[in-house]
Amino acid sequence: MARITAGVTTSHVPAIGAAIDNGHTASDYWAPMFAGYEWSKKWIAEEPPDVVVLVYNDHASAFSLQMIPTFAIGCADVFAIADEGWGPRPIPPVIGDSDFACHLAQSLILDEFDMTIINEMTVDHGLTVPLSLMYGQPDAWPARVVPLAVNVVEYPQPTGNRCFELGKAIRRAIRSYPEDLNVQVWGTGGMSHQLQGPRAGFINSDFDHEFFDQLVNDPDTLKKVPHIEYLRESGSEGIEMIMWLIMRGALGKKVKELYRFYHVPASNTAVGHLVLKPGK
């Protein structure tokens, strides 16, 4: 049977992708941020997943105000890299796992989560920057990826509780797949940041550290945090962190924290990263 072997969270700041693609990772500004992912790159090389269920949000690349799925699952065999204004990033296409993704879609929908099924879409920095941070610059991505897109850009976003419950449903779906697959679930986005208005550049490290602690040890409290508190405490784009709750819900009641990294700033965002193992 398929099994969940780990959970990963990471910010997906677009400037990180640009720093990699333009050869700036060793600069004074970027080197400390990239150093924080060296442990994880070694770890994932030693414990490589077959498939990553990668929870992220699209930033008006594949979707737009014309269509805003709350939860969408990518069932294609391949996902091209989106052009976000400077041409597609020079990275390999993302290879999907159609059979597994269709099983997840069926299981989630019959489990009463109304997923939008996507058979063709491009993927933007929300999905590709986490791959680059974990895998560097390979000729081909070492794992297949099932993109799971969440609307966090247009009100009303799903609640933290709904995200956590979706994670639990993803756990049931993965564990009912008959093939022997090593699956990781990643939650991306965040941490605190605000891109516009008088508070542009706002970062709240206290909130971020508390979020880390509660995600690991007390997700039942964290899942009740309302949108207005994310807006107030983590900036207008901090709401992306509800996607981490999907990963956490998939890992079960107890988790073991293998690695934590926090860095400020990357562009105008706080970077946060966790590697978790499901507990017994």
Active site residues: 125, 193
In whole angstroms, give the CA distance from residue 13 to residue 32: 15
- Residue 171 DSSP SS3: helix
Rg (CA), the chain: 17
Partners of 261 in the β-ladder: 273
In whole angstroms, give the CA distance from residue 252 to residue 217: 11
Contact 10, 188 (CB under 8 A): yes
| Three-state helix/strand/coil letters over 172-226 | HHHHCCCCCCEEEEEEECCCCECCCCCCCCCCCHHHHHHHHHHHHHCHHHHCCCC
- Residue 47 DSSP SS3: coil
- Please give the helix or strand (H or E) that residue 35 lies within, else none: helix 31-35
In whole angstroms, give the CA distance from residue 85 to residue 17: 13
- Residue 60 DSSP SS3: coil
